[in-house]
Structure 1
Amino acid sequence: MTMVTPRVRQDAELLRSVEDFLYFEAELLDEWRLHEWLALFSESGRYLIPSTDKPDGDPARDLFLVQDDRFLLEQRVNSLQTRAAHAEYPHSRTRRLVTNVRASSEDGHVGVRANFAVFRARNGVVDTYFGRYEHVLERSGEEFRFVTRKSILDLDALRPHGKVSIIL
């Protein structure tokens, strides 16, 4: 699916619906309602975070920080809800900003691009992750589901964080 280009006129109703979906998703993640967030994925949904040195990498060939299919994503969510997830127990406080949303519909799917900033506070330290989203959504009536949820970091390295232990 081709992503939105500046020359494409935005469908105002589609754009507003996609924005509402992204804002709801951000709320679920900031409130640590991870099982509800997981329900936003299709059965074939994938969650991807490319490495910082290959932001446009191909998950079939390149190393990704996160490359979860629906099964692995469910395992990730279950793990983050337990004490065994030491990096996130007690869980971090996060606040997400989603901006510059663009959306286009093609072949029954919706391509989405947006910018994000995620602020993570834990143990008196605030980390900032920022970048862009490139999502593919499927639509059923008024509902959207992620087919691909891709978070591309604009950081040139994960310093000082060293890792991504939260959902971006």
Structure 2
Amino acid sequence: MDALGRSRIEDFLCLEAQLLDAWDLDTWLTLFAPEASYVVPCNDSPDGDPARDLVLIDDDELRLRLRVERLNSRRAHREYPHSRTNHQFSNVVVGVREGDELPVVASFTVWRFRNGKASYYVGKYHYRFVAIDGRLRIRSKRVVLDMTTLRPAGDLAIIL
């Protein structure tokens, strides 16, 4: 983990964005460590703790796998056929290693195109990366929306 540079982290984030934009969600799941988490707190409580606060998404490894399974099927009516998305990130800040974890924060914009309409999500990604068998993996991904309302986006049916 100590040898990781910002360019390797940015390459990893590029890979994640490409997989999400290609709707290759099964491969995207392989980027996560076992016992991973994916959390999206409510807009009005960006520091919300899923253990005590209402959040938009609070997925552990199982729920994340089930979310991907549903989004890949026709049962996800909000996303069949799939939206076209464009995940962009910038301002990557690599923190100081904490135990076996490396914290990383990046700004993001995700564009979603569906049924002739464009919508967007803006905020910050808060990652905790770990090395497993020499490979970088996501232990946790927290998506903090800067938007004060989801009105421009309408809903949260895609993976940010």
TM-score by length of 1: 0.90
Q: Determine if the alignment matches structure 1 residue 130 to structure 2 residue 129.
A: no
Equivalent residue for 1:68, pick from 59, 66, 91 = 59
How many residues align? The count is: 158
**Contact 1:110–1:139 at 8 Å: present in 2 too?**
no
Structure 2 matches for 1:14-33, cutoff 5 A? Answer: 14-33=5-24
Q: Give the 3-state SS of the residue equivalent to 1:20 in structure 2.
A: helix
Q: How does 1:35-114 map to 2 (within 5 A)?
A: 35-104=26-95, 105-114=97-106
Per-residue displacement from partner, 1:120-168 (whole Å, max 9, x unpaired)? Answer: 0000000010100011011135411111111111110110433200000
For the pair 1:167 / 2:142, whether they are aligned, the reply is: no
2:112 counterpart of 1:120: yes
Q: Residues 33 and 132 of structure 2 are in contact (CA less than 8 Å); yes or no, is this contact kept in structure 1?
A: no
| SS of 1:146 mapped into structure 2 | strand
Give TM-score scaled by structure 2 length. 0.94
8 Å contact kept, 2:121–2:153: no
Q: 2:111 touches 2:121 (CA, 8 Å); kept in 1?
A: yes
Task: Extract unaligned runs of 5+ from structure 1.
Answer: 1-10
Q: CA RMSD in A?
A: 1.4
Gap regions ≥5 residues in structure 2 = none
Q: Which amino acid aligns with 1:98?
A: F
SS class of match (1:78)? helix
